[in-house]
Amino acid sequence: MSRLRHVVRPLVGLPLRLRPDVIVPRRLESSVAGPPPPPYQPPEVPPPSTPAAPSSAASPPPPPGSSGSASPPSPASSGAARYPIPAPTAADLDPNTVLPRFEKDLMDKGLQPIGSRRRRVAIRSPGNDIPFEQLPYQTFQEALKIIAADRLEKIERIRIETAKIARLEQRDPETVNGGQRGKDRRLKDLRKEVEDLKILADINDPLVKKRFEDGLGDMNKPIYRYYTRQKWLSYDYKLIVQRIEQFHIVPDLVDKLEPTIDVKLLFRGQKISPGSIVPSNVSENMPLLRVQLFDRGERLFTVVVVDADVPDVSKDCYWKRCHFLAANIPLNPCNTSLPFSKMDKDKIALPWLPPTSQKGAPYHRLAIFLLEQVDNEMFDVAKMREVYSSRDHFCVKVLRQKYKLLPKGFNMFRSVWDDTTAEVMQRHNIPGADVELRRVHIPSIKPYKGPRGWEAKRQGPKYRHLWHRTRRIKGLSSGRGWTKRR
């Protein structure tokens, strides 16, 4: 047991000591010493004027909209006068240092901001104007020396391989193992080795990587094409391959398709994700393609847009329709823009036909193919226009076999019936706006088979004493609550 005890003493008779309330005034002014503020003086209110007696000679008051009456300033004008918007400076319109509020002004001039907003603000700050290659970090400078020495080694190997190519080109094919075919194969391998060495010479350079991330890479150089291809393979390529398999592009439209070119689709300047459903009033306009090649040189391509799901009610099947066909389109790694509206008319075999869908029909798959013309062979577009003038029952497989085309790029979108489809079909004289498709029930062609099993064999009056054990005799069975118990 504890030795300590609580003793309760009564408060009666004890003097209470109350602490007086101390009120200390708190000053809200700054802690910086200064003269005391002047005492508050209320504004003088003028006495109300007595209204004068009305007289016949007094002129009526001016209307509210006249210049003689003073109207109160609007909040917008007073705010603009109090906080004027500063004019953009040279740094504000520089892609490397533009602020967020001036980004729209910069893009109106056709320039895009470089890097993130945090990076641009950091560059604008004083003391951050040191060039990237001159950063005062000893480890960074030592790494640059190692990278420079490795680059010199790769350049020396490039010089050796280039000399081999020059000597092999001067040799007679009869003196080469394999003849002309062996010589061409050897030259192809040597040129590929030179391209790989050019990439390895600059792949570790931080300045090259920085220029690529800032969007300033020159696509004529192999290293920037390599970086662009790796970025495409990381996501966009996987997405396109997934759409090809998901929407059964192979084998519905082509036998085999392995994309090697990055193709992006834009409507009205907005990027469309592959496989997205595009409204009819948007797809009515001609699209724009962003085509990125990863190999040097200029090549000729044929562009095809095909609708793979045109319903044929009479035959209960689908056929294909060509919505656009153009040939002899030159493309290279630096020329990436391909607007349909600005193509030469001598290269267009079939102009753009807005994709539409009838009410009640499933979505239509609109596939966009970039087909490479072998050996840059020029096609007769006028003859192609005559052959495919009907647009209907178009087959990409036949087009490939006839003109020896190789599928290199692909993109797609979908079209369904919406609120604007009827107007689009009316504007372009496309029939079928007043037709609604409905599913028809097709009866089974299998012969009728009666009920089978233990319960089916014991449903006659002979087995009435077993009906309470079954579950399929309505009104008599005990299963599923069909029999009411009293």
Q: What is the pLDDT of residues 407-460, one digit of tens each?
A: 999 999 999 999 999 999 999 999 999 999 998 888 889 898 877 787 777 777
367 with 483, same domain: the answer is no
Q: Which of 216, 232, 266 is the last residue of a domain?
A: 216
- Asked, for residue 456, whether it belongs to a domain, the answer is yes
**Quick one: 181 and 138 in the same domain?**
yes
Q: Are residues 349 and 380 in the same domain?
A: yes
Q: Are residues 456 and 402 in the same domain?
A: no
Range of the domain at 106: 90-127
Shared-domain flag, residues 287 and 200: no
Q: How many domains does the chain have?
A: 4
pLDDT tens digits, one per residue of 177-235? 989 999 999 999 999 999 999 999 999 999 999 899 888 899 999 999 999 999 999 99
- pLDDT higher than 70, residue 8: no
Q: Are residues 143 and 164 in the same domain?
A: yes
Q: Is residue 7 part of a domain?
A: no
Per DSSP, the residues of 324-350 read: EEEEEEEE-SS--EEEGGGS-GGGEEE
Which residue is it, tokens 């640059």?
144
> pTM score, two decimals?
0.70
The answer to whether 311 touches 318, Cβ cutoff 8 Å, is: yes
Confidence of residue 18 (pLDDT cuts 50, 70, 90): very low
Same-domain pairing of 423 and 470: no
Co-location of 291 and 417 in the same domain:
yes
The whole-number pLDDT of residue 24 equals 41
On the question of a cis peptide bond just before residue 330, with omega within 30 degrees of 0, the verdict is no
Encode pLDDT of 112-157 as tens digits.
888 888 888 888 887 776 777 787 889 989 999 999 999 999 999 9
* Residues in the chain, overall count: 486
CA angle 235, 240, 241 (to 5 degrees): 100
416 and 267: one domain? yes
- Give mean pLDDT, residues 321-348: 96
Is 470 part of a structural domain of the chain? yes
Q: Mean pLDDT for the chain?
A: 83
Quick one: pLDDT band at residue 34, thresholds 50, 70, 90?
Answer: very low
* Same domain, residue pair 285 and 305: yes
Please report whether residue 112 resides in a domain.
Answer: yes
pLDDT tier at 265, thresholds 50, 70, 90: very high
175 domain-assigned: yes
Calpha distance 219→335 (Å, rounded): 9
Residue 285 has pLDDT above 90, yes or no: yes
Clarify whether residues 456 and 372 are in a common domain: no
| Domain membership flag for residue 63 | no
Both 422 and 335 in one domain: the answer is yes
d(CA 250, CA 369): 13
Q: Taking a C-beta distance cutoff of 8 angstroms, is the pair 472, 480 a contact?
A: no
Residue 464 scores a pLDDT above 90: no
User: Does residue 41 lie within any of the structural domains?
Assistant: no
Closest CA to 222 of 187, 189, 204, 196: 196
Residue 78, pLDDT > 80, answer no
Domain membership of residue 334 (yes or no) is yes
Amino acid occupying residue 486: R
Residue 4 confidence (pLDDT): 44
